[in-house]
């Protein structure tokens, strides 16, 4: 059996058999319980990680606080230089890190490398942005006065990320945080701790080479208790949370309780509407990649296809054919399209959802199930499946993080848009059509209610240049591109009087 060079990549990334899971800058320590990271690709133990205790957390925050005081005084374009060098380092480590993402998380090597590419891209974006943290100037109503606004850093930004994008989501948050003058504390998913340690090693190298303070970038591997400590900590000005709607609801409430800021990236239930005017070749490719890419474990994965009745059978038949050609297996083998789910819990949830769907009346055009045999010995490989359902089924209203695609039939576009919007989540959406009227209606205020709405591309694979996030139970947060940096800073309005008198606003006279 080949190990796809994974041992070498682990070595290059500075991962050993036993690792400490807490780091402020370059120094590592930890005094909590032991965590084991198994690969869902082959079921093998990759390495062990000592996790953080409550005291370790406190130590990290003290270091971060001290670092912030100095870091905020460095001019933003100079902080951009740190991010530029980080982007260069990521280019050096791209192959190793992409491979580790694939091995520890289970997404295809192509997608692992794509994730590292997103990290590089957000670095480039942030470097340019570091000279463009613009505010407005306003005309004062008083003579001899000037008004303007400026943006200041927030302090410590806490990042809680999910297993499905174990490296990219952290980088979206750090690249913006750093140019904005914040320091960051990262609590990665317990399911992908080694990806986090690898990233921390890479940024530590850059910090060291620039003689920058430890504590600009910290990382804490730990369980939900460490997560709660971070969420409830007044020292954390902004909590950027990616994960389930269930946990996000608690995070949002607790951060708001202490008047902290939060960015919530929660569940999606993304649909593609395929109209009678769609290019069906494109529609099928977009739908299949959206549904089975990352084994259906992206927030933006395509969960529902809302198909016009006149093309429904045709689309269904083509999908069945396409699913018949999917190669499922070790994601490090580039011949395979689909890798494993993250762990056996995820498999159980997938099987459970299929059962629920059948109970509610769903019929399967492509059957699901667990794959068995030598190639699938980790017990995490499942068959991507397709069910014909009603949108109102409870299971269809729910996000299952697995490759289950639901087909729904419609008659009018208004009905299709209503179906697309009639779920609790609001992340990503798409329409396949060559008809301008259909496309524009879908994009109008009477159309999709999601944070992302696409025409003639699928629901997943958003570029970093746009604002990423969604409405309703997706949490309302935005990350990555556009003017999202403003979430990472505090706005201050300044009025300056350069006369010798003190006129009041609103024409108020106050003579002594």
- What is the set of active-site residues? 265
Residue 174 found at the interface with ligand UN1 (CB under 6 A)? no
Residue 337 beta carbon to ligand UN1: minimum distance, rounded to whole angstroms: 16
Helix, strand, coil abundance in the chain, percent, nearest 5: 40, 20, 40
Residue 299 found at the interface with ligand UN1 (CB under 6 A)? yes
Scanning 129-137, 139-147, 456-464, 504-512 for contacts with ligand UN1 by CB under 6 A, the matching segment is 456-464
Residue 239 beta carbon to ligand UN1: minimum distance, rounded to whole angstroms: 16
**Which 3 state secondary structure label does DSSP give 137?**
strand
Residue selected from 23, 24, 164, 218 as contacting ligand UN1 according to rule CB under 6 A: 164
Calculated CA dihedral for residues 400, 405, 407, 408, nearest 10 degrees: 30
Residue selected from 50, 298, 318, 383 as contacting ligand UN1 according to rule CB under 6 A: 298
Scanning 294-302, 314-322, 324-332, 389-397 for contacts with ligand UN1 by CB under 6 A, the matching segment is 294-302
**Closest to ligand UN1 by CB, 329 or 461:** 461
Residue 365 beta carbon to ligand UN1: minimum distance, rounded to whole angstroms: 25
The phi, psi pair for 324, rounded to 5°, reads -65, -20
Residue the block writes with tokens 């008047």: 259
Residue selected from 86, 165, 241, 350 as contacting ligand UN1 according to rule CB under 6 A: 165
Scanning 208-216, 218-226, 344-352, 459-467 for contacts with ligand UN1 by CB under 6 A, the matching segment is 459-467
Residue 299 beta carbon to ligand UN1: minimum distance, rounded to whole angstroms: 3
**Closest to ligand UN1 by CB, 77 or 461:** 461
* Cα within 13 Å of Cα(51), Cβ side: 21
Give the Cα separation of 131 and 481 in Å (integer): 15
> Over the range 440-476, which residues count as b (16 or more CB within 10 Å of their CB) and which as e?
ebbeeeebbbbbbbbeebbbbbbebeebbbbbbbbbb
Residue 407 beta carbon to ligand UN1: minimum distance, rounded to whole angstroms: 22
> Where is 404: in which H helix or E strand?
strand 404-410
- Contact (Cβ atoms closer than 8 angstroms) between residue 299 and residue 164: yes
Tokens representing 317 are 């038949």
Residue 462 found at the interface with ligand UN1 (CB under 6 A)? yes
Residue selected from 460, 473, 478, 487 as contacting ligand UN1 according to rule CB under 6 A: 460
Give the Cα separation of 225 and 161 in Å (integer): 15
Give how many residues touch ligand UN1 by CB under 6 A: 10
**Closest to ligand UN1 by CB, 23 or 302:** 302
Pattern 238-257, ligand UN1, x by CB under 6 A: ----x---------------
Residue selected from 200, 300, 429, 474 as contacting ligand UN1 according to rule CB under 6 A: 300
Report which of 430, 386, 384 is spatially closest to residue 407, judged by C-alpha positions: 386
Scanning 11-19, 248-256, 298-306, 443-451 for contacts with ligand UN1 by CB under 6 A, the matching segment is 298-306
Residue 14 found at the interface with ligand UN1 (CB under 6 A)? no
Please give the C-alpha separations between residue 220 and each of 158, 207, 212, 351, in angstroms, as whole numbers.
10, 18, 20, 33
Residue 274 found at the interface with ligand UN1 (CB under 6 A)? no
Task: Give Cα 351 to chain centroid, integer Å.
Answer: 25
**Closest to ligand UN1 by CB, 212 or 251:** 251
- Contact (Cβ atoms closer than 8 angstroms) between residue 351 and residue 316: no
Beta strand 27-29 with 145-153 is: unpaired
Residue 165 beta carbon to ligand UN1: minimum distance, rounded to whole angstroms: 5
Residue 461 found at the interface with ligand UN1 (CB under 6 A)? yes
Residues in touch with ligand UN1 (CB under 6 A) = 164-165, 169, 242, 298-300, 460-462
């Amino acid at each position: 059996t080949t190990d796809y060079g994974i041992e070498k990549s682990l070595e290059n990334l500075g991962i050993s058999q036993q690792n400490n899971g807490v780091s402020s800058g370059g120094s590592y320590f930890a005094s909590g319980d032991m965590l084991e990271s198994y690969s869902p690709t082959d079921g093998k133990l990759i390495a062990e990680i000592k996790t953080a205790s409550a005291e370790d957390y406190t130590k990290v925050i003290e270091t971060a606080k001290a670092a912030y005081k100095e870091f905020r005084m460095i001019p933003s374009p100079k902080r951009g230089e740190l991010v530029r060098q980080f982007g260069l380092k990521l280019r050096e480590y791209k192959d190793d890190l992409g491979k580790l993402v694939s091995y520890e998380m289970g997404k295809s090597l192509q997608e692992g490398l794509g994730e590292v590419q997103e990290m590089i891209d957000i670095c480039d974006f942030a470097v340019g942005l570091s000279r463009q943290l613009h505010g407005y100037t306003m005309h004062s109503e008083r003579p001899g006065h000037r008004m303007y606004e400026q943006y200041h850093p927030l302090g410590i930004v806490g990042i809680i990320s999910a297993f499905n994008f174990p490296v990219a989501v952290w980088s979206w948050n750090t690249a913006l945080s750093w140019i904005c003058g914040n320091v960051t504390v990262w609590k990665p998913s317990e399911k992908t701790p080694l990806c986090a340690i690898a990233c921390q090693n890479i940024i530590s190298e850059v910090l060291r080479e620039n003689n920058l303070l430890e504590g600009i970038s910290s990382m804490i591997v730990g369980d939900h208790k460490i997560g709660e400590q971070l969420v409830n900590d007044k020292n954390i000005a902004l909590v950027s949370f990616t994960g389930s709607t269930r946990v996000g609801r608690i995070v949002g409430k607790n951060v708001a309780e202490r008047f902290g800021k939060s960015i919530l990236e929660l569940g999606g239930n993304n649909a593609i509407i395929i109209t009678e005017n769609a290019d069906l070749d494109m529609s099928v490719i977009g739908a299949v990649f959206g549904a089975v890419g990352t084994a259906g474990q992206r927030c933006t994965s395509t969960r529902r296809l809302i198909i016009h009745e006149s093309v429904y059978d045709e689309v269904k038949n083509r999908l069945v054919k396409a699913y018949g050609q999917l190669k499922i297996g070790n994601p490090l083998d580039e011949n395979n399209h689909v890798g494993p789910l993250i762990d056996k819990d995820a498999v159980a949830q997938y099987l459970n959802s299929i059962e629920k769907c059948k109970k509610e009346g769903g019929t399967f055009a492509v059957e699901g199930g667990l794959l068995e045999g030598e190639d699938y010995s980790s017990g995490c490989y499942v068959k991507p499946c397709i069910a014909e359902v009603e949108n109102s089924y409870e299971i269809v209203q729910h996000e299952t993080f697995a490759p289950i695609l639901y087909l729904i039939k419609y008659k009018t576009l208004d009905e299709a848009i209503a179906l697309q919007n009639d779920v609790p989540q609001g992340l990503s959406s798409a329409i396949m059509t060559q008809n301008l009227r259909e496309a524009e209606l879908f994009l109008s205020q009477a159309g999709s209610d999601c944070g992302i709405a696409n025409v003639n591309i699928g629901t997943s694979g958003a570029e970093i240049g746009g604002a990423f996030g969604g409405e309703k139970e997706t949490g309302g947060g935005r990350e990555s591109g556009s003017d999202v940096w403003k979430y990472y800073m505090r706005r201050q309005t300044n009025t300056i009087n350069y006369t010798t008198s003190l006129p009041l606003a609103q024409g108020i006279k106050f003579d002594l």
